[in-house]
Amino acid sequence: MLCASIGAMSIYSEINEKQRTYFNSGATLSYDFRIKNLRTLKTALKANEENILEALNADLGKSMFEGYATELGIVYEEIGWLEKHLRKLMKPSKAKTPITQFRAKSYIMHEPMGTVLIMSPWNYPLQLTMVPLAGAIAGGNTAVVKPSRYSKHTSELMISILRKTFPEEYIASFDGGHETNTALLEQRWDMIFFTGSPNVGKIVHQAANKYLTPCILELGGKSPVIIDSSADIPLTAKRLAWGKFLNAGQTCVAPDYVLACNSVIPALIEALKKEIEKMFSQDPLKSEDLPKIINEKHYQRLAGLLEDANVVYGGKRDDETRKIAPTIISPASWDDKAMQEEIFGPLLPILSVESVDEAIKIVRSHEKPLALYIFSKKKENIRKVLSSLSFGGGCVNDTVVHLTAPELPFGGIGNSGMGCYHGKRSFQAFTHDKAIMDKALWIDLPVRYAPFKGKLKLLRMLMR
């Protein structure tokens, strides 16, 4: 056992060392190298498209449509965006020089972080591995990728694609569970990009502390939906049901629970039922479009959350297929089991509030969420919610779709994460802004040098 773990450790340190040497050779720095490898990644994914969609189906029961829309398609768009903007992103940015430093040029170089570690979860196994990897490539880094073991089929396929496509000194990938993660976290990285739960995020952050390694933590938590009395209920129900039951609720930015004004709750429940039946039929457990729960552990956890719930709709499940029908819990309360943790499944508790102000108070008394959604026609209520609550990102009158825009940063705040990515922010996440002041040789202002007698007046004029 000891030998195995020492052996295993050496694999990680060996790769880490190889990548560091490769990075230090300067091979990953040029625009040509980065663009070529972004394209190589896209080509490799395209060549394996059918296998990827099948693997996603095997892991999570995702339909081909959902697999393409929420995984492959998003990766293609991200790579496309980076390809289009890479040259400009890599250019040093100009900055102003203060008069006291006359004469100089100031600029910011966007240097790669170096050798980075990317750890991803199982719920969008392809997207949450490949989008950060595209950012790492665009940034000019080497990368070690560690997908989740829970999404076995997709993770094994990704590892095999990456191993066939890239040399390990540039991009390496490892299979494995916690032990592998722990061994990887013991290595020295120039940056760690982690997506997963807040609890494991804390473990990653603690490990990163050893070398003060910068981290991007993409975490989760309970993301609320606020619905006021002016909301367009049929459209609200449609967009809410879509965002909640996508991937059977196993989405980090899925609406976790609803805070709805009393007066709209009966109509909201009726409209939600209608939408659920339109999307998944009257027997959702038989629908090919309803994904399954990733594994027995999470399936049993979700079954446990239903134990004390007031189920007004749904609630059925199938132990064989690990599918849980879209379920509405109402009235729900903060004492319910489903309100004690991030649900991460197709259960939707609806809590009643008197007003938007009450909803704001409730959200404020909990951890800052990754996402927040407000459904309203009243500008004043929308403004109040957006300006008084802190959360990663969100939508007005929709759910989840904010993460489809590469120009919008995607990330949490506080307990829901630190740092962000997507588009320009992915490049920024995987690069360091190095500040340079390049001084002219032909002049050297004497003000800053001692003796200072008689210079204060001039200094006051220059630095006001």
Distance CA(319)–CA(316), nearest Å, equals 10
The answer to the question of residue 128 lying near ligand NAD (CB under 6 A) is yes
Strand ranges in 203-346 using DSSP code E only, listed in sequence order: 215-218, 224-227, 257-261, 311-313, 317-318, 323-324, 327-329
Q: How far apart are the first and last CA of the chain?
A: 67
Residue of this chain nearest to ligand NAD (CB atom): 220
The answer to the question of residue 195 lying near ligand NAD (CB under 6 A) is yes
The answer to the question of residue 219 lying near ligand NAD (CB under 6 A) is yes
Query: What are the angstrom distances between the C-alpha of 24 and each of 21, 208, 211, 221, 231?
Result: 5, 21, 19, 38, 56
Distance CA(155)–CA(174), nearest Å, equals 9
What minimum distance in Å lies between the beta carbon of 220 and ligand NAD?
2
Q: Which of 67, 114, 121, 224 binds ligand NAD (CB under 6 A)?
A: 121
Query: Which of these ranges, 36-44, 95-103, 116-124, 240-248, lies near ligand NAD under the rule CB under 6 A?
Result: 116-124
The residue (of 208 and 353) whose beta carbon lies closer to ligand NAD is 208
What minimum distance in Å lies between the beta carbon of 313 and ligand NAD?
24
Which of the following is catalytic: 218, 275, 342, 420? 218
What minimum distance in Å lies between the beta carbon of 122 and ligand NAD?
5
The answer to the question of residue 154 lying near ligand NAD (CB under 6 A) is no
Q: Has 252 been annotated as catalytic?
A: yes
The answer to the question of residue 123 lying near ligand NAD (CB under 6 A) is yes
Query: What are the angstrom distances between the C-alpha of 342 and each of 212, 301, 393?
Result: 29, 11, 17
**CB contact at 8 A, 113 and 191:** yes
Which of the following is catalytic: 215, 252, 261, 420? 252
**Six-digit token string for 253:** 């930015």
> What character string, x for contact with ligand NAD (CB under 6 A) and - otherwise, covers 133-152?
---------------xx---
Q: Has 3 been annotated as catalytic?
A: no
**CB contact at 8 A, 151 and 33:** no
What are phi and psi for residue 252, nearest 5 degrees?
-60, -35
What are the catalytic residues?
A: 218, 252
| Interacting residues toward ligand NAD by CB under 6 A | 119, 121-123, 128, 148-149, 177-178, 181-182, 195-197, 200, 203, 218-220, 252, 342, 344, 370, 412, 417
